[in-house]
A and B are shown apart, each in its own frame.
Chain A
């Protein structure tokens, strides 16, 4: 739930990048951190294992300016994707306002994407949230691998596997090259801010 501070006229919005391990969640944030450096006032925080995998989360605060007289501070988080870190994923999901599901387009990862999305739905339920109603954007990442001859799932299959029921907006992307990373980010920010707009119009709880 976005935190509205009527005194500072500031809103903190939490957006989580979710998805299977090694799918490119951290790479998305790294690209944003580099590309939008002027809007980011502090260093990206990462809690990694010795072999550079996300252990806990990455954290990137991002200012998008004012909406209805409130300064909007977007806080991007990633979760650790590996199955065994579910307790950590749940901690990071606490208070989430919007989600980008970063799916791995490699054919080999088809099953892992499905399992990770199911895990997201279950974890949201534990916070009384519903995957069908929370702002959600799908990103089919690693499309660049096709050029290197690595088998990649057709978008139609990924849509059928992951998005047939949810019908969330989706983008094909390459986080390594930055392709569609900013577009994905802008879409989730706009959906999330729209979802709290009503609350802002009421002016918080003055």
Chain B
């Protein structure tokens, strides 16, 4: 399995629209769509944060791989919800299709439940664009 992804300009713009509408407008700090090789496909933010998205993508892809391997050991295919909670900021991970990951970085003012709902909606819409 490898990742011979090619995205057209139009696809990337449509994905950006979805992420803007579903997540940036919700008040999250940034969203990054990556592939499991650690490449950044789309990244958007609210204009007030400066995360190193390339390093974040490399680590997130590896983290997801490691957690999936843990899931396999206990007989699960994968863990569908991954969430790291910090004191003021947190990261939510969700899988998009089989080969992409959506990372959402958000502060205390965004509720996790609502974020999960919106991230799911974004996932469905992005899958339709692939």
Contact = CB atoms under 8 A, between A and B. Distances in A.
Given A57-B62, A91-B62, A94-B36, A1 B9 contact: no
Interface range for A: 20 to 34
Given A42-B52, A91-B66, A1 B3 contact: yes
B41 A3 contact: yes
Contacts of B4: 1
Contacts, number: 95
A1 B35 CA distance: 11
B27 interface: no
Contacts of B41: 3, 5
Contact of B2 (A6, A43, A95, A206): A95
Interface stretch (B53-61, B86-94, B106-114): B53-61
Chain B, interface size category, equals 20 to 34
A204 B8 CA distance: 8
Interface in B1-46: 1-9, 12-13, 35-41
A170 B69 CA distance: 35
A29 B6 CA distance: 29
In the A-B complex, the 9 residue pairs with the closest CB atoms: A95-B37, A3-B39, A91-B65, A205-B6, A7-B12, A42-B52, A59-B58, A6-B9, A12-B39
Interface of A: 1, 3-7, 12, 14, 42-43, 45, 47, 56-57, 59, 61, 73, 75, 77, 87-88, 91-92, 94-96, 126-129, 204-206
Interface of B: 1-9, 12-13, 35-41, 52, 54-55, 58-59, 61-62, 65-66, 69
Given A6-B9, A128-B1, 4 more contacts: A3-B40, A4-B6, A42-B55, A206-B8
